[in-house]
């Protein structure tokens, strides 16, 4: 009798604990494993949001996130261009370790190895449903590139995402199509897609031959196939029904993000939501054209703020806000003229897209990698501002910690568990970290010091009018006194230069920094 009572008691306990494990995240108390959303903007600078000091533009929805969450002032992407930054945020590995992790053409093969941990696989192992919606730009398909007319694999679904709705590279690169899981959306077998970055394919007009057909002229490059009145990089043939309309990009991605959230309202989810804004070609939804008075660049910032607001509303509506951790950040610094005449330069009206920092996209100066970075998790993350030094490369290990997982030495070689900093439990950040430009030239930040390794190259990137941060002399800046990186102290502190150069060399040779 006693024994059977004990048995029933044990059974009840077991049932209770398994119920607790299966409990739905919706409406939970906030200390349990949350849903996680990364909103990853494109080319959005530190100074582009009103919560980061912009006065010429107002971003009320993102400001609301900043008001309710933790706003970081010293958070970084790992690179000042897209592909390496995205590679790092996804894999927790510094992208300079892979020579091919540079701005990729639209037909490049998948950069991420199938046995590599990603932020997606971390959440999958924790039992989450995962999705990637938006810009991808880390390659698709096997060596030689993807088969646009068949199964496109491997891609996001093979590296940690249960669902994906993406465009392959950038909005200015062919093919200008959506890929849902393994297929081009609205593919027409009678109009097969062909893509080339070497030579013209097909008979569609190009920006070079038919500039009269353009609704937005290019300032440099972008003279390949014209899609939706805009010249692209590269040439494409076919897929006419599948080609997107730039004006709908923000809405289309938002709709997919919302559907994924809705579908998983009663199941833990992770959403990597990589919005297209504010990358070129900037062609906002008609509701936003002219709204900012800063040209289309300002208009797409407003549009991005609007879609963020609508995403937050969806979470509210589904009663998920309380148990959702959101990170809002960007992949690299800002640029005004990135190859199209869209009014960004003429109408900047004193707006400072990189805030107080020098340089921007493509640059090794802080403007290239110092990012807006906001974390919200109501009831857990206390509102405030944090000066902790963190890098996007840390998200993988931090998410592993959030979901109580151990990483092996094969995983995420440069990702550090910064969960306490991200949640505001400490103001302490990393002691050092590495950032790079698109060509893999490196800078090391350690304490107050920033060292940029010597490298040949133009000081000014003329086409985009951005200082590259390159010099054949070593550069050393004291960021605690000189955020603008104006005063090169390398000559005054040869010992520090030597030490930092040696450390950088060791970081390169060792192949990892987490262990
Ligand atoms: C450059 C493009 C630029 C942009 C960038 C990638 C030209 C002249 N410039 O080569 O428009 O597409 O690549 O941007 O073609 S990123 O944000 O994806 O890194
Ligand atoms: Ca970018």
Q: What is the pLDDT of residues 443-453, one digit of tens each?
A: 999 999 999 99
More confident residue, 327 or 24: 327
Is the shortest distance between the CB of 82 and ligand 1 below 6 Å? yes
Mean pLDDT (whole number) for 135-141: 98
Pocket test residue of 42, 44, 86, 103 for ligand 1, highest count of atoms within 8 A of CB: 103
- Residue 4 confidence (pLDDT): 52
Say which residues have a Cβ less than 8 Å from residue 391's Cβ, sequence separation at least 6. 75, 76, 77, 78, 88, 430, 433, 435
What are the pLDDT digits (tens) for 469-505? 999 999 999 999 999 999 999 999 999 999 999 999 9
What pLDDT was estimated at residue 225? Answer: 98
> If 0-12 CB within 10 Å is exposed, 13-18 middle and 19+ buried, where does residue 493 land?
middle
- The two beta strands, 449-452 and 475-478, are antiparallel
**What is the percent of the chain where pLDDT is above 90?**
94
Q: Is the dihedral of CA 277, 281, 286, 290 positive or negative?
A: positive
Q: What's the farthest any 2 CA atoms get from each other in the chain?
A: 91
Quote the mean pLDDT of the chain.
Answer: 94
Q: Cα dist. 318→16, 312, 403, 466, 512 in Å?
A: 26, 10, 23, 44, 41
* pLDDT for the residue 439: 96
Q: Is 222 in contact with 261 (CB distance < 8 Å)? A: no
Does the beta carbon of 338 sit less than 6 angstroms from any atom of ligand 1? yes
Distance, in Å, from the CA atom of 469 to the CA atom of 360, rounded to the nearest integer, reads 10
Residue 104 C-alpha to ligand 1 middle, in angstroms?
A: 9
Q: How many CB atoms lie within 10 A of CB 431?
A: 10
**pLDDT, tens digit (0-9, with 9 covering 90-100), for 298-339:** 999 999 999 999 999 999 999 999 999 999 999 999 999 999
Q: How many residues does the chain have?
A: 515
Q: What's the pLDDT score for residue 26?
A: 41
Sheet of 449-452: strand order equals 432-436, 442-446, 449-452, 475-478
Ligand 1 atom closest to Cα of residue 173: 12
Angle between helices 82-91 and 395-402 (to 10 degrees): 20
User: Ligand 1 centre and the CA of 361: distance in Å?
Assistant: 10
Q: What is the pLDDT of residue 33?
A: 85
Strand ranges in 260-302 using DSSP code E only, listed in sequence order: 269-274
**Beta carbon of 339 within 6 Å of any ligand 1 atom:** yes
Is the pLDDT assigned to residue 458 strictly greater than 90?
A: yes
**What percentage of residues in the chain have a pLDDT greater than 70?**
94
> Rounded to the nearest 10 degrees, what angle do helices 249-263 and 295-317 cross at?
20
Q: What is the mean pLDDT of residues 115-128?
A: 97
23-37, 132-146, 479-493: the lowest-pLDDT one: 23-37
pLDDT in tens, 256-290: 999 999 999 999 999 999 999 999 999 999 999 99
pLDDT exceeds 90 at position 3: no
Q: What is the mean pLDDT of residues 42-65?
A: 98
pLDDT, tens only, 236-259: 999 999 999 999 999 999 999 999
């Amino acid at each position: 009798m006693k024994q059977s009572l004990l048995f029933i008691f044990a059974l009840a306990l077991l049932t209770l604990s398994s119920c607790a494990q299966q409990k739905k995240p919706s409406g939970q108390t906030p200390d349990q494993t949350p849903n996680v959303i990364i909103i990853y903007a494109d080319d959005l600078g530190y100074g582009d949001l009103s919560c980061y000091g912009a006065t010429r533009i107002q971003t009320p929805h993102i400001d609301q996130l900043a008001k309710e969450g933790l706003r970081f002032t010293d958070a970084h992407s790992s690179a000042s261009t897209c592909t390496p930054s995205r590679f790092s945020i996804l894999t927790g590995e510094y992208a300079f370790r892979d020579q091919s992790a540079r701005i990729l053409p639209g037909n490049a093969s998948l950069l991420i190895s199938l046995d590599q941990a990603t932020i997606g696989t971390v959440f999958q192992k924790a039992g989450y449903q995962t999705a990637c919606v938006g810009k991808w730009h880390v390659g698709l398909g096997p060596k030689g590139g993807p088969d646009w007319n068949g199964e496109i694999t491997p891609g996001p679904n093979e590296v940690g995402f249960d669902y994906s709705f993406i465009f392959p590279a950038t909005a200015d690169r062919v093919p200008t199509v959506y890929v849902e899981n393994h297929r081009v959306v609205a593919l027409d077998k009678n109009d097969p897609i062909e893509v080339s970055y070497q030579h013209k394919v097909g008979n569609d007009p190009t920006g070079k031959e038919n500039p009269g057909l353009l609704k937005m002229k290019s300032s440099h490059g972008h003279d390949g196939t014209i899609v939706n009145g805009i010249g692209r990089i590269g040439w494409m043939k076919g897929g006419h029904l599948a080609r997107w309309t730039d004006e709908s990009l923000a809405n289309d991605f938002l709709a997919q993000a919302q559907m994924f959230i809705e579908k998983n309202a009663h199941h833990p989810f992770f959403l990597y939501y990589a919005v297209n804004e504010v990358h070129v070609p900037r062609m906002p939804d008609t509701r936003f054209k002219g709204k900012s008075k800063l040209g289309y660049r300002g208009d797409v910032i407003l549009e991005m703020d609007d879609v963020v607001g609508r995403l937050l509303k969806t979470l509210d509506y589904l009663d998920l806000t309380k148990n959702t951790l959101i990170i809002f950040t960007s992949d690299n610094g800002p640029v005004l003229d990135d190859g199209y005449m869209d009014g960004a330069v003429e109408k900047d009206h004193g707006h400072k897209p990189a805030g107080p920092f020098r340089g921007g996209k493509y640059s090794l100066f802080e403007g290239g990698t110092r990012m807006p970075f906001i974390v919200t998790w109501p009831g857990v993350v206390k509102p405030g501002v944090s000066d902790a030094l963190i890098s996007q490369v840390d998200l993988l290990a931090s998410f592993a910690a959030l979901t109580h997982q151990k990483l092996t030495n094969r995983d995420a070689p440069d990702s550090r568990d910064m969960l306490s900093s991200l949640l505001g439990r400490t103001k302490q950040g990393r002691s050092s970290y590495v950032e790079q430009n698109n060509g893999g030239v490196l800078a090391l930040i350690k304490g107050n010091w920033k060292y940029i390794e010597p490298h040949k190259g133009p000081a000014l990137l003329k086409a985009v009018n951005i200082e590259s941060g390159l010099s054949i002399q070593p550069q050393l800046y004291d960021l605690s006194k000189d955020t603008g990186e104006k005063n090169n102290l390398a000559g005054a502190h040869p010992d520090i230069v030597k030490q930092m150069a040696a450390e950088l060399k060791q970081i390169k040779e060792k192949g990892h920094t987490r262990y």
